[in-house]
Chain A
Amino acid sequence: MAAAATCGTGAGNKGCTAAAAAAAGKNNVTSFQRKGPRASVPDSGCARLVSIAGTRPSVRNGQLLVSTGLPALDQLLGGGLAVGTVLLIEEDKYNIYSSLLFKYFLAEGVINGHTLLVASAKEDPADILQELPAPLLDDNCKKDFDEDVCNPKTPESNIKMKIAWRYQLLPKMEPGPVSSSRFGHYYDLSKRMPQELIEASKWHGFFFPEKLSPTLNIEPCSLTHGYIKLLQFIQNVIYEEGFDGSNPQKKQKNILRIGIQNLGSPLWGDDICCTENCDNSHSLTKFLYVLRGLLRTSLSACIITMPTHLIQNKAIIARVTNLSDTVVGLESFIGSERETNPLYKDYHGLIHIRQIPRLNNLIYDVSDVKDLAFKLKRKLFTIERLHLPPDLSDTVSRSSKQIPAASSRLLGPDCGVMAGGRKHLDF
């Protein structure tokens, strides 16, 4: 608040606008802000970009971050997802929790007023948006949601400030119907997102079965038809809506959230999940490369869920990981032997942070904890360190001795080749 009081005029004063937009929720904002996003937007836009709703600059490198919709995951990724990057979610076996993360991401976009682009080959994007979870509102904001926004008779205005009385004269920051000044919200999975919020949001849908055309009149390159169409659609939206700053008519100050579901599955026309030696093995990797090129030059962030457990060729998984920025793998216990294992009874699955990008920096924020598990309750998706319950029996009967460190893919980044050995350690 002190920054808001002291900075007078100056539209280019980034600290002032950021502090004004922050209201009470943020605790990381200082009046010194480094330059905004890495996207190549004109400099005059830089100062105002920091005040886009739902974003905040990273403490480490000034990168503009958006929330993934899951505050626990934001923390593990170093504050949030950087604008211009790709978040790849490796799906769990039955695509239950990965579609949940997908929905959280989109719901966060609706709450913050970002533009959405939903692409799917399985479900109609309109149906996906209907199923978004409802946000958890604070009690104060719930009251404002029904009442008039500019209600001067809020209880706080009755408190007269005795010491900092000059601040009383400043205009009050009225929160919107939802507390959108917060970064990262919690969602209630038992309720649906209110219809008026969905209708108020701007979204573009790409449903692949609708876009199939019988004749292929594009230049042949090794991308499958679905990927080419999707890339053209995304590029069109970015250009038309002005997210890359190249359209002189449109000056966009918003974030485009792109969500692509089940990329790589046979429904997109790609056969890497079907056979080991496929014809178009470069289709997916080329798609990811060009997509990343589009994202780097625009104000957008993308989430992709990919059924990597179906991909037979491990080399492709390694290449896909190298071509994505942030990679998170989900492993749910449903249907596996771990579901009945008493060690894992408190959790629903494991979450592996496979890769975090080093953006504009030599180092990156990595948490020390490598074994993370997640638990889904109705209102909360928590991610916490995997705690082994104490073995209180007389004899040593822990069944974990039967579970060796089977795959080195369980390990995070920066772990050596030998760390994922077959022997289990006996201490």
Chain B
Amino acid sequence: MFPELNNLLNTTPDRVEQGKLTLLCDAKTDGSFLVHHFLSFYLKANCKVCFVALIQSFSHYNIVGQKLGVSLTAARECGQLVFLEGLKSSVDVFFRAQAEPHPLQFLREADAGNLQPLYEFVREALKPADDGQAAWRCPVLLVDDLSVLLSLGMGAVAVLDFIHYCRAAVCWEQKGNIVALVHDSGDAEDEENDILLNGLSHQSHLILRAEGLATGFCRDVHGQLKILWRTPSQPAAQRDRSLTYQYKIQDKSVSFFAKGMSPAIL
């Protein structure tokens, strides 16, 4: 996790909010550093994490996690982390017929059905232990990323339904959190993606949006991060709080600064 981002979001691993949906969004840049942040943050906060990693392999997250101070292999072995590796499982699902329903069953199907097997997997992974003892703090579902599901044949409505079911199970029933990454296609006119992004924006409590700079590429400032705190259930008369920072990604951390205050310029 990045200590500077924790300060901006006003959270620490000891004080974890519950029942929140956080939406990570990136436009014209790569927002995966936010995924690494939340993954290491919740692992350090002693939460049980179910990570649906559809874009990269386990070792990628593991190596970056080690730079940020968490060991994914250790977390997986002791049961704190349930990792669904999309790329590896897709090969198994696609080439060999599975006996029991696999979370990525939709890869074999022609008609875009629904993501129910995936939801069942998440629910099974995050359900509390049978003996009633709370070994971990609160369950967390992390998805990287939801836009890939659209590319794999699911409709935007199916993905929104999946998040809705997960919210009911994880956020409301078990008082956990959900963090999901969606790409913003910008001017590529991806209607399904826009539906998904808008739908999730209205449901989220916290939106972190990483954008490229409006003036183009810069070596010292890699992008801009917009943080928006929302209260979905409150009436719209209450103003949502929003902050904008610029950031630079380094080898093991990300430094944030106010707009125009990059250390390279001052």
Closest B residue to A235 by beta carbon equals: B95
Q: Across the interface, which residues of B come within 8 angstroms of A219, CB to CB?
A: 97, 108
Interface centre among B67, B151, B189, B190 (most CB of A within 10 A): B151
Q: Across the interface, which residues of A come within 8 angstroms of B186, CB to CB?
A: 417
Q: Across the interface, which residues of A come within 8 angstroms of B112, CB to CB?
A: 222, 282
Would you call B189 and A368 a contact (CB within 8 A)?
A: no
Closest A residue to B215 by beta carbon equals: A419
Would you call B212 and A323 a contact (CB within 8 A)?
A: no
Q: Across the interface, which residues of A come within 8 angstroms of B27, CB to CB?
A: 416-417
Would you call B153 and A222 a contact (CB within 8 A)?
A: yes
* Residue A340 is within 8 A (CB to CB) of chain B in the complex: no
Would you call B60 and A414 a contact (CB within 8 A)?
A: no
Q: Across the interface, which residues of B come within 8 angstroms of A360, CB to CB?
A: 59-60, 63-64
Cα of A292 to Cα of B189 in the assembled complex, Å: 25
Pick from B110, B148, B189: contact of A222, CB under 8 Å? B110
* Residue A411 is within 8 A (CB to CB) of chain B in the complex: yes
Cα of A221 to Cα of B109 in the assembled complex, Å: 5
Would you call A362 and B254 a contact (CB within 8 A)?
A: yes
Would you call B90 and A290 a contact (CB within 8 A)?
A: yes
Q: Mark B53-65, 1 if CB is under 8 A from A, else 0.
A: 0000101100110
Cα of A220 to Cα of B108 in the assembled complex, Å: 8
Interface residues of B in 131-153 (CB under 8 A from A): 147-148, 150-153
* Residue A363 is within 8 A (CB to CB) of chain B in the complex: yes
Q: Mark A321-341, 1 if CB is under 8 A from B, else 0.
A: 011000000000000000000
Would you call A235 and B91 a contact (CB within 8 A)?
A: yes
Cα of A414 to Cα of B90 in the assembled complex, Å: 30
Closest A residue to B62 by beta carbon equals: A360
B146 to chain A, nearest CB (A): 12
Closest A residue to B211 by beta carbon equals: A416
* Residue A289 is within 8 A (CB to CB) of chain B in the complex: yes
A93-101, A255-263, A293-301 - the one binding chain B: A293-301
Would you call A286 and B91 a contact (CB within 8 A)?
A: no
* Residue A142 is within 8 A (CB to CB) of chain B in the complex: no
Pick from A282, A290, A322, A418: contact of B94, CB under 8 Å? A290
Would you call B108 and A414 a contact (CB within 8 A)?
A: no
Cα of A289 to Cα of B88 in the assembled complex, Å: 10
Q: Assuming A221-B109, A292-B87, A417-B28, is B153 touching A286 (CB within 8 A)?
A: yes
Interface residues of B in 24-50 (CB under 8 A from A): 27-30, 32-33, 36
B197 to chain A, nearest CB (A): 13
B4 to chain A, nearest CB (A): 14
* Residue A359 is within 8 A (CB to CB) of chain B in the complex: yes
Q: Mark A208-250, 1 if CB is under 8 A from B, else 0.
A: 0000000000011110000000011001000000000000000
Would you call B187 and A286 a contact (CB within 8 A)?
A: no
Main SS at interface, chain B: mixed
- Chain A interface category by residue count: 35 or more
Cα of A419 to Cα of B63 in the assembled complex, Å: 34
Q: Across the interface, which residues of B come within 8 angstroms of A359, CB to CB?
A: 60
* Residue A412 is within 8 A (CB to CB) of chain B in the complex: yes
* Residue B227 is within 8 A (CB to CB) of chain A in the complex: no
B88 to chain A, nearest CB (A): 6
* Residue B249 is within 8 A (CB to CB) of chain A in the complex: yes
* Residue A204 is within 8 A (CB to CB) of chain B in the complex: no
B70-78, B116-124, B216-224 - the one binding chain A: B216-224
* Residue A370 is within 8 A (CB to CB) of chain B in the complex: yes
A350 to chain B, nearest CB (A): 16
Q: Mark B79-121, 1 if CB is under 8 A from A, else 0.
A: 0000000111111001101000000000111111000000000
Interface centre among A220, A289, A360 (most CB of B within 10 A): A289
B185 to chain A, nearest CB (A): 5
Q: Assuming A219-B108, A413-B29, A414-B222, is B249 touching A289 (CB within 8 A)?
A: no
Q: Across the interface, which residues of B come within 8 angstroms of A412, CB to CB?
A: 217
Q: Across the interface, which residues of A come within 8 angstroms of B153, CB to CB?
A: 222, 282, 286
Q: Across the interface, which residues of B come within 8 angstroms of A285, CB to CB?
A: 151-152
Cα of A375 to Cα of B57 in the assembled complex, Å: 37
Interface residues of A in 397-418 (CB under 8 A from B): 408, 411-418
* Residue A61 is within 8 A (CB to CB) of chain B in the complex: yes
Would you call B251 and A419 a contact (CB within 8 A)?
A: no
Q: Across the interface, which residues of B come within 8 angstroms of A220, CB to CB?
A: 110
* Residue B177 is within 8 A (CB to CB) of chain A in the complex: no
Would you call B30 and A358 a contact (CB within 8 A)?
A: yes
Cα of A228 to Cα of B151 in the assembled complex, Å: 17
Would you call A415 and B188 a contact (CB within 8 A)?
A: no
Q: Across the interface, which residues of B come within 8 angstroms of A361, CB to CB?
A: 63-64, 251
* Residue B230 is within 8 A (CB to CB) of chain A in the complex: no
Given A296-B87, A363-B249, A414-B222, 16 extra CB contacts under 8 A: A40-B88, A61-B63, A222-B111, A286-B152, A289-B107, A290-B90, A290-B94, A292-B87, A296-B88, A361-B63, A361-B251, A413-B30, A414-B30, A414-B223, A416-B216, A417-B212
Q: Supply 15 A–B pairs (Cβ within 8 Å), ascending by A.
A: A220-B110, A221-B108, A232-B95, A289-B107, A293-B88, A293-B91, A297-B87, A322-B183, A359-B60, A362-B67, A362-B250, A362-B254, A363-B250, A411-B217, A416-B214
Interface residues, chain A, CB within 8 Å of chain B? 38, 40, 61, 219-222, 231-232, 235, 282, 285-286, 289-290, 292-294, 296-297, 314-315, 317-319, 322-323, 358-363, 368, 370, 408, 411-419
